[in-house]
């Protein structure tokens, strides 16, 4: 008898259930990111309004909103909000947005939680040039802010050139940035030691960081720059995510690695330089905004906008505390430094335990 052999055809497993699970997880993650970002935006706006409500002349939230948009009919309220308090609140909001966004770009680009403008020389370079312009050149106002902007760009360029060795690695970049930062801080100390009492007091106030000391021109430049830079950053979100996977993987995905890294770094430097030019080197804001936002939106999600709103909330809340919750009014940077120092100690301990400190 003839034996009839039947060919057994094995069908590949149906990928539909797996695909649906992945899609569901992606949608949940996106929904969480959107919800958290909107909540942070609402919280930052509430603080923005709150900073203009409190003072010797109390104003209601609705009056603040109407006066901000030029709709308030009562002259006294309109004057207090628009002429006295709005510039300080706008300075705190813009500075926080820029520092929070710049900080998370540095941290994701260099894959290190210590990668912050506070430690890679950018803020120190801005401080050195600003202090030198006050003490040596007797400059004031917008010219001091312009000097800070130039100093931040010079410091960033110097660190980038010194850290370049057939590419940029986060650990080397941070180490060289710390060295450059100490160099500029030493220079600032020397310049301050040669200053008279008036210039030294003005320079120290600027060095600590305080919102409300910038003029209309600096604020206008900051907000126009934010309006231009924010869309550009979000257009480069995918490239940033690809760079986090490593240079080889990013190249395989079609990313021009060094060009994109330089563009992202330049964007972050411009943001931190403009923020420093407006309010001085506000300590630790750029360092802590990114990790807080990442923890809130969840790992693997885009936390760029959330980090910007966290930074704004930190600066606005710190200014409220510095101006109204303490026996004497203090510069805003004193409060952000008091918040950030314990976090830095915890971060160093946790990074050392996890073996990510190099």
> pLDDT digit of tens for each residue in the chain (358 aa)?
445 555 555 555 555 665 676 677 677 778 888 899 999 999 999 999 999 988 778 888 888 888 888 777 788 888 888 888 888 899 999 999 999 999 999 888 887 777 777 777 888 888 899 888 888 888 877 788 788 888 888 998 898 888 887 666 667 888 888 889 889 989 988 988 888 878 887 787 778 888 877 777 778 888 888 888 888 887 888 888 888 777 778 888 788 877 888 888 888 888 888 888 888 888 889 889 988 898 888 766 678 889 999 999 999 999 999 888 878 788 888 888 888 878 777 777 776 555 554 4
Compute the distance between CA of residue 40 and CA of residue 33 in angstroms, rounded to an integer: 11
Q: Identify whether the C-beta of residue 126 lies closer than 8 Å to the C-beta of residue 149.
A: yes
CA-CA distances (angstroms) from residue 137 to 17, 82, 147, 195, 218? Answer: 69, 33, 11, 11, 20
pLDDT on residue 16: 63
CA-CA distances (angstroms) from residue 2 to 5, 122? Answer: 9, 85
Compute the distance between CA of residue 334 and CA of residue 35 in angstroms, rounded to an integer: 32
Kindly give, in sequence order, each residue whose CB lies less than 8 Å from that of residue 103, ignoring residues fewer than 6 positions away: 116, 117, 272, 285, 286, 287, 288, 289, 290, 307, 311
pLDDT on residue 114: 74
pLDDT on residue 1: 44
Q: Is 136 helix (H, G, I), strand (E, B) or coil?
A: coil
Identify the CATH class of 37-345. mainly alpha
Q: Both tokens of residue 62? A: 């609705």
Please spell the DSSP secondary structure of 244-299, one letter per residue: HT-HHHHHHTT--HHHHHHHHHHHHHHHHHHHHHHH---TTHHHHHHHHHHHHH-T
The structure tokens 């952000």 sit at: 336
Kindly give, in sequence order, each residue whose CB lies less than 8 Å from that of residue 162, ignoring residues fewer than 6 positions away: 176, 180
Compute the distance between CA of residue 109 and CA of residue 245 in angstroms, rounded to an integer: 10
CA-CA distances (angstroms) from residue 248 to 58, 169, 173, 252? Answer: 58, 13, 19, 6
Write out the H or E segment, with its range, that includes residue 241.
helix 237-244
CA-CA distances (angstroms) from residue 63 to 22, 51, 70? Answer: 47, 13, 10
pLDDT on residue 312: 94
Q: Both tokens of residue 223? A: 């907000």
Of 153, 143, 146, 155, nearest to 185 (Cα)?
155
Q: Is 32 helix (H, G, I), strand (E, B) or coil?
A: helix
pLDDT on residue 46: 94
């Amino acid at each position: 008898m003839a034996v009839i052999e039947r060919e057994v055809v094995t069908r590949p497993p149906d990928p539909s259930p797996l695909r649906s699970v992945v899609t569901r997880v992606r949608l949940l993650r996106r929904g969480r990111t959107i919800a958290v970002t909107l909540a942070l935006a609402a919280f930052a706006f509430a603080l923005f309004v709150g900073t203009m409500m409190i003072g010797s002349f109390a104003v209601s939230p609705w009056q603040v909103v109407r006066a901000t948009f030029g709709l308030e009919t009562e002259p006294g309220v309109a004057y207090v909000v628009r002429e006295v308090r709005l510039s300080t609140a706008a300075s705190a909001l813009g500075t926080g947005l820029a520092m929070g966004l710049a900080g998370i770009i540095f941290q994701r680009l260099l894959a290190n939680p210590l990668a912050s403008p506070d430690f890679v020389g950018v803020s120190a370079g801005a401080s050195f040039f600003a202090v030198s312009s006050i003490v040596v050149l007797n400059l004031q106002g917008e010219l001091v802010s312009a000097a800070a902007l130039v100093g931040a760009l010079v410091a960033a360029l110097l660190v980038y050139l010194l850290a370049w060795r057939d590419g940029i690695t986060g650990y080397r970049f941070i180490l060289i940035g710390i060295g450059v930062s100490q160099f500029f801080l030493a220079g600032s100390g020397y310049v301050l030691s040669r200053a008279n009492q008036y210039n030294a007091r003005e320079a120290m106030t600027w060095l600590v960081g305080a919102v409300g000391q910038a003029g209309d021109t600096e604020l206008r430049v900051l907000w126009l720059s934010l309006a231009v830079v924010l869309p550009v950053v979000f257009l480069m979100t995918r490239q940033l995510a690809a760079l986090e996977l490593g240079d080889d993987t990013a190249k395989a995905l079609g990313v021009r690695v060094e060009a994109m890294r330089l563009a992202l770094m330049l964007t972050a430097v411009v943001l931190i330089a403009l923020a420093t030019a407006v309010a001085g080197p506000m300590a630790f804001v750029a360092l802590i905004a990114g990790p807080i936002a990442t923890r809130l939106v969840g790992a693997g999600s885009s936390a760029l906008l959330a980090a910007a709103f966290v930074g704004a909330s930190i600066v606005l809340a710190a200014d409220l505390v510095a101006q109204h919750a303490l026996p004497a009014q203090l510069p805003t940077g004193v409060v952000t430094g008091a918040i950030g120092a314990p976090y830095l100690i915890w971060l160093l301990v946790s990074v050392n335990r996890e073996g990510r400190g190099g």
